[in-house]
Amino acid sequence: MTDLLARFARDRAALLAAGVLAGLALAAASAPLLWPLDPEAVGGPPLLRPLGDPAHPLGTDRLGRDVLARLLHGARLSLTVAFAAAFAASVLGSAVGLAAGLAGGRLDELLMRVTDAFQTVPGFLLALAFVSVLGPEARSVVLAIAASAWTGPARLVRAEIASLAGRDFVLAAVVAGLPRREVALRVLLPNALPPVVAYAATSVASAVLIEAALSFLGLADPNRASWGAMIAEGRAVLVSEPWLSILPGLALLLTVLAVNLVGEGLNEALAPRRARP
Amino acid sequence: MRLVPLLELRGLSVSLPAEPAPVRALRGLDLELLPGERLALVGESGSGKSTALLAIAGLLPDEAEITGGRRFPALGREPTPGRDLGLVLQDPFASLDPVLSVGEQIGEVLVAHRGARWAEARRAAVVLLGRVGIAEPEARVDDPPHRFSGGQRQRIAIAMAIAAGPRLLLADEPTSALDTVVQAQILDLLDGLVREQGTALLLVTHDLAVAGRIADRIAVLYAGRLVECGPAALLLRHPRHPYTRALLAIARALEAGTGGPLAAIPGTPPEPGAEPPGCSFAPRCPLAFARCAEEPPAWRGHARDGVACHRADR
Amino acid sequence: MSGPAPLLEVEGLTKRWPGATAPAVTEVSLAVASGERVALVGASGSGKTTLARLILRLVEPDRGSIRFAGRDLLALRGEALRRIRAELQLVFQDPLAALDPRRRVGAQVADPLRAHRLVPRSGRTAAVAALFERVGLDPALARRYPHELSGGQRQRVAIARALASRPRLLLLDEPVAQLDVSVKAQILDLLERLRREDGLAWLLITHDLGVARAASDRILVMAEGRIVEEGPTAAVLAAPRAPATRALVAAELRLPPLDPRDLSATAPSANPRTT
């Protein structure tokens, strides 16, 4: 583990990005303590400029709600939804991939055809459909995003298992007398997971964007502050008060960039080590 | 009148990038190779033999630190890999491009280094395939590498290496990945080809019997340093350095098969960077005495024939 | 030969890989007695590795029978098959490929101990340490990962794992092919010592006749999936009859013979130089 962290730390960009992400997560988690204003409350005059009034450092929106508070609470929503969705997708996808890879034959065929079906529908449209049916709460958004994101990990795990199955060290585990279940969970799965972990980073990034898009379109929970919704609301005054859309946009950019860099760093750090010649 | 050497190494030292700190793979190698001469560089893992070969070929990574001299006096200029130098590596399954046909790969060498046109290059490739012992070369010249066995791929790699008529052929353990029957065939092939073309050969191997089969001279490396060098037949019958003697004892024991322990050398070679002061072999040497641990032995003899051991009395 | 039944008895084993033109193994019959050292030699592609995998039930044969310690090995399934693996072990050719890159080597050596419940959890670390010492490794190395060890150390780890369950028969597939000469010698000496201590029998697969000579009393020669010659190792290699055996012996590279008169010249000098 420390070995892994050391390798990760060598990638400066990834380290910086991880720092940014950690800072963001911390800020989001402690939002009410950090900046106790209610994001939904009409606390001040509308359309206050940023850096004008110390009570509202980033200004206020069209309804007079504090922008900083809305950004922080939006971060909370984005990050929670994104990580939850990516986690759910990874777990579900890995389980499906493991089952397909180990079973082979008809079960494998069946599972892969189901995966194909889910993959042919564009992720965003599938999420749209789910949200329309399930409603706009954060929980449904998580499910909606996971519903299309699980196919990536499923294919990755299945492919890894298929290529690992014939390898000497797997046979060695069988020869050592390990029961099949242990071979699958102790030997195959840990070797099959690293690409999934690296892929999870892209899942998180795209989940952030899908959530933002859903809330931009007004399909997410209207009672919760969300970056997408903030961008949508800022459209009406884009020329005169561009910061209302730009600030959440920048937040999105920063988050997605950080997630991608961390993902790359993880990929590098997790790559199996090459031995000395 | 002395012949002008084809290759001259003076005090060649190489440090390779590694974590946490660079390691010294080669420490002051002096070597000489005459045109048409066959030299075997013998050593085990960590001896620096492959590093030496890569340094000669100019294939070390950019981050490697190289000090000391590497010259090609008989060439009069820096050698061009492919034209002046041919290279054959250990793994026959990794050395050929899986996407191109074997004819294209051999032909590439001729087009790049002999200015041939593709049509003549292809004809020449067919001829070369025949020379290295591939049956029905005309039929097989357009086959991709995966249709050939390991031994055949190595033959193809040799064809690529000699295609442009290089003055020096470098081979890094070319038969280690092959079984004994194929190994004998490949060594016969190499032997014949270099004799025919008067090509010099530098062959890296850990197997003294391979060295004895094909080399005029043998140079033994241990922990990045040269410990003994001399004419092959003489060295294999009168080894002067205790390490060479120990290796030969094992090889002969395996050949004779008289049972009993194989006279294995106790211990392991030092980690690069952690070599003991004095002679690097001293901790494992049955003849070591006080001086061996304090003072690295000086080279006794001359560039082409000598030994580095406090016990040797030549 | 009268006496107890052989430890391993293989009869008429045949296997053709799907899609292959010729069978990998055809009508192979052999026997290994308790405590016997048998070598299986042949060029690559002769079917040696397939035969090893068949005997270990990693692959199913098309025809034939395998009896181990008097039991029909092919009839065993599931749990019974898993349990008999404690007595029949394999050392793979490439120690780096045979070890899980993501687990520490100590944990992997402990696998058979865990799988066959040979040692309670509390005693496992000590048992692993004892196994490491048996194969000449510092027990502290148990915390390392495979890529952090040298080739020789990795093969010792593989041997430790293979011996953990005190098997009666050990299959070794080219156990020293990837190793340097001096390490080869160390590992062969180690294997012999362990074999004597445990009363092991082994079937050692190799293409290297020197290894066969050093590590076997009886030899089987395989070519194109069949056994073409067998007999006492020294005798067969000194006077080979089958063409395949002749080819192997002829291909062996020999060092120039030592003249008895040369021996005195190579003796170390009695008085080291004192400059």
- How far is Cα C61 from Cα C25, in angstroms, rounded to an integer? 9
Topology classification of domain B7-238? Rossmann fold (3.40.50)
Which of the pair, A36 or C245, is modelled with greater confidence?
Answer: C245
**Partner-chain contact A168 C97, CB within 8 Å:** yes
Q: Does C247 touch chain B (CB under 8 A)?
A: yes
**Partner-chain contact C115 A178, CB within 8 Å:** yes
Residues A6-25: tens digit of each pLDDT = 777 777 788 888 888 888 88
Q: Does C198 touch chain B (CB under 8 A)?
A: no
DSSP state string for chain B: -PPPPSEEEEEEEEEE--SSS-EEEEEEEEEEE-TT-EEEEE--TTSSHHHHHHHHHT-S-TT-EEEEEEE-TTTTSPPPBTTTEEEE-S-TTTSS-SSS-HHHHHHHHHHHHH---HHHHHHHHHHHHHHTT-SSHHHHTT--GGGS-HHHHHHHHHHHHHTT--SEEEEESTTTTS-HHHHHHHHHHHHHHHHHHT-EEEEEES-HHHHHHH-SEEEEEETTEEEEEEEHHHHHHS--SHHHHHHHHHHHHHHH---S---PPSS-PPPTT-PPSS-TTGGG-TT--HHHHHSPPPPEEETTEEE--TT---
What chain A residue is nearest to C144 in terms of C-alpha separation?
A: A3
**Partner-chain contact A175 C116, CB within 8 Å:** no
Task: Check whether B192 has a pLDDT greater than 90.
Answer: yes
The residues in A 193-252 lying below 8 A from C, measured between CB atoms, are none
pLDDT computed for residue C261 by the predictor: 62
**Partner-chain contact A169 C99, CB within 8 Å:** yes
| Residue ranges of domains in chain C | 8-253
The helix (run of H) or strand (run of E) holding residue C230 is: strand C226-232
Residues A174-188: tens digit of each pLDDT = 999 999 889 988 899
- Report the residue of C55, C111, C119 to disrupt the A interface, i.e. the one with the largest count of A CBs within 10 Å: C111
- How far is Cα C69 from Cα C33, in angstroms, rounded to an integer? 10
Task: Check whether B70 has a pLDDT greater than 90.
Answer: no
pLDDT computed for residue A55 by the predictor: 78
Chains touching chain B through at least 3 C-beta pairs below 8 angstroms are: C
Find, among A108, A191, A192, A189, the residue nearest to A156 by Cα.
A192
How confident is the prediction for chain B on average, in pLDDT? 90
**Partner-chain contact A272 C103, CB within 8 Å:** no
pLDDT computed for residue B1 by the predictor: 54
pLDDT band at A1 (very low <50, low <70, confident <90, very high): low
pLDDT band at B51 (very low <50, low <70, confident <90, very high): very high
**Partner-chain contact B265 C182, CB within 8 Å:** yes
Question: Was domain C8-253 assigned CATH 3.90.420.10?
Answer: no
Task: Check whether B295 has a pLDDT greater than 50.
Answer: yes
Residues in chain A with CB shorter than 8 Å from the CB of C165 are 176-177
Q: Does C97 touch chain B (CB under 8 A)?
A: no
What chain B residue is nearest to C210 in terms of C-alpha separation?
A: B254
Residues B130-186: tens digit of each pLDDT = 999 999 999 999 999 999 988 999 999 999 999 999 999 999 999 988 888 999 999
Residues in chain C with CB shorter than 8 Å from the CB of B257 are 210, 213-214, 233-234, 237
pLDDT by residue for chain C (275 residues), tens digit each? 456 789 999 999 999 998 888 889 999 999 999 999 999 999 888 899 899 999 999 989 999 999 999 899 999 988 999 999 999 999 998 889 999 998 999 999 999 999 999 999 999 999 999 999 999 999 999 999 998 898 899 999 999 999 999 999 999 999 998 788 888 999 999 999 999 999 999 999 998 999 999 999 999 999 999 999 999 999 999 999 999 999 999 999 888 877 666 554 444 433 333 33
What chain A residue is nearest to C85 in terms of C-alpha separation?
A: A177
Cβ-based contacts under 8 A for chains A and C: 71
Residues B157-171: tens digit of each pLDDT = 999 999 999 999 999
Which of the pair, B89 or A7, is modelled with greater confidence?
Answer: B89
Residues A52-93: tens digit of each pLDDT = 777 788 888 888 888 888 888 888 888 889 999 999 999 999
Find, among A264, A122, A112, the residue nearest to A197 by Cα.
A264
**Partner-chain contact A175 C58, CB within 8 Å:** yes
Q: Does C252 touch chain B (CB under 8 A)?
A: yes
Nearest Cβ partner for C255 among B255, B268, B310: B255
- How far is Cα C65 from Cα C48, in angstroms, rounded to an integer? 17
pLDDT computed for residue A275 by the predictor: 46
- How far is Cα C13 from Cα C65, in angstroms, rounded to an integer? 6
**Partner-chain contact A175 C86, CB within 8 Å:** no
Burial B220-256 (b: 16+ CB within 10 A, else e): bbbbbbbbbbbebeebbbbbbbbbbbbbbbbbbbbbe
pLDDT computed for residue C263 by the predictor: 53
pLDDT computed for residue C265 by the predictor: 42
pLDDT computed for residue C260 by the predictor: 65
Q: Does A175 touch chain C (CB under 8 A)?
A: yes
- How far is Cα A91 from Cα A97, in angstroms, rounded to an integer? 10
Residues in chain C with CB shorter than 8 Å from the CB of B206 are 180-181
| Residue ranges of domains in chain A | 2-270
Q: Does C44 touch chain B (CB under 8 A)?
A: yes
- How far is Cα C99 from Cα B21, in angstroms, rounded to an integer? 27
DSSP state of A42: B
| Residue ranges of domains in chain B | 7-238
Residues in chain C with CB shorter than 8 Å from the CB of B238 are 262, 265-266
Q: Which residues pair with B219 in a beta bridge?
A: B41, B229
Nearest Cβ partner for B238 among C208, C255, C265: C265
Residues A199-225: tens digit of each pLDDT = 888 889 889 998 899 889 888 888 888
Note the CATH number of domain A2-270. 1.10.3720.10
